[in-house]
Amino acid sequence: MTERLLVLAQFYLNPLETPRLDVAQLQRLHWLLTSYHSDTGGYSVRDILRQLSPDCGDLIIRGIVYGSKVNTSQMFVKRPTSSNVCCIFNYRRPSYSRFARIREEDNAEMRAQPKVVFESNSILNSVQFVLQDTPENDRTNTFMTNNAFQEDYATVQSTTLGEMLVDHNTIVEIPIQPTFFSSSEGVRTVPPQARRCYFPEEGRKVLNQTYYSIDECLLLCRSQSMMNHCGCVSPPMIGSSTNVTYCGLPDLPCLSKWKSIWYGYDEYPYLQEGKDQMAQRECTHCLPTCNGVSFSITSNVAPLRRNYNETGYLMGLLKGLTNERPLAVIKFFFKLRFAQATKSELVSTWVVLLNRFGGILSLMYGFSIVSYIEIFYYLTGKWFVYIYRSRSKRTVRAGHSLYWDELMPKRFRTPN
């Protein structure tokens, strides 16, 4: 049964996966799960994956936040994501489980979490956690990770932070450097396709919801593409309140085909006709926000000294722990005491730009763009105007025949 349940991992959006079961076996497993969960109205793939995954307290066993020890089981929430079931720290996004009872439990757990605000950049006052690997007989894969920022849905496809592999018996320091960016009101006059970003109200209008981010837009765009191709959405991908159909085990062959089209790893794509190879270009309307903050992270890795005492480590955060299961320590802190802030301003409009080009031409060549326009006018339009006026004058003279000598003044004559 364990081998059969491993097929549920194919609902994740990890590319290049080979099918584990054929169609008949998928139908059989679908019938078994439906019968087992008949009292709850059907089975939920994301909830089963969550139940089969290790708890956060088993993976993150100790922690220090600014010098104070914390209960790590209360600092992390276990949530299904698009590529795995992850332990997420300092998270804000509400749960979107299929069942109302689980949603309420997840939201209550999230509200009870202490909110950690990063304020110090000293490595001595950093946030530190001790990670412990799963037992050898555990079938859990722990090397697939992803990132999210507070309210975004954690997805490995749209993150810009990258991934960081924490190896056994290592100390990994992760300096974080934020960069703030904003845009002035003058930038609003430029279309979003030209400035390549959305203001808050523009993004909310694009998604027709109260929250917008590029991760949120890509999530909905991928879900819509999956819906158009298979008629349903993979359960780990459902991270919003949109009303969609959940995919089941019989839909796995279609989802596998969708992933091959989306990621575009066909061996001979030029032999296939149609627009399927353009799937990734369907989300070009998803743009970043004009105001916000971005993060860049680096890593410093050092070896963790192994302990050979039966009683474990003697001091520090690892006191009393042994190397029976591999350990690792991660540390988060701000890299610098300051952060860079950038602001986009509207430098000039097309009228000002034309004026500048005219000034450059006037300086370099002795005449400006207006001179070009005048030359063009005299070479083209001026001749037409001159011919038109000359013909109009001839027409007036032909219609009013006057003897012009009568209008001339007579010579002055003196009387005799």
Q: What is the DSSP secondary-structure string of 210-265?
A: S---HHHHHHHHHHHHHHHHHSSB-GGG--SS---PBP-GGGHHHHHHHHHHHHT-
Q: Which two tokens stand for residue 161?
A: 């932070």
Q: What is the rounded average pLDDT for all residues in the chain? A: 78
Q: Per-residue pLDDT averaged across 321-326, rounded? A: 86
Euclidean distance between CA atoms 334 and 300, whole angstroms: 13
* pLDDT one-digit tens code per residue, 86-116: 888 888 788 877 778 888 888 888 888 888 8
Euclidean distance between CA atoms 374 and 356, whole angstroms: 18
Q: What is the pLDDT of residue 202?
A: 92
Euclidean distance between CA atoms 212 and 152, whole angstroms: 9
Q: What 8-state DSSP symbol labels residue 397?
A: H
Any residues with CB less than 8 A from the CB of 294 and at least 6 apart, and which? 160, 178, 179, 181
**Higher local confidence (pLDDT), 38 or 382:** 38
Euclidean distance between CA atoms 357 and 364, whole angstroms: 11
Confidence tier at 120 by pLDDT (50, 70, 90): low
* pLDDT one-digit tens code per residue, 134-182: 777 776 554 455 445 555 555 544 445 556 778 888 999 988 888 999 9
Highest mean pLDDT among 122-126, 221-225, 340-344, 345-349: 340-344
**Higher local confidence (pLDDT), 265 or 386:** 386
Q: How many CA atoms lie within 13 A of 261 on its CB side?
A: 22
* pLDDT one-digit tens code per residue, 169-225: 899 998 888 899 999 988 998 899 888 999 989 998 988 888 888 888 888 888 888
Euclidean distance between CA atoms 41 and 33, whole angstroms: 11
Beta bridge pairs of residue 151: none
Q: What is the pLDDT of residue 183?
A: 92
Whether residue 15 is predicted with pLDDT greater than 80 in this model: the reply is: no
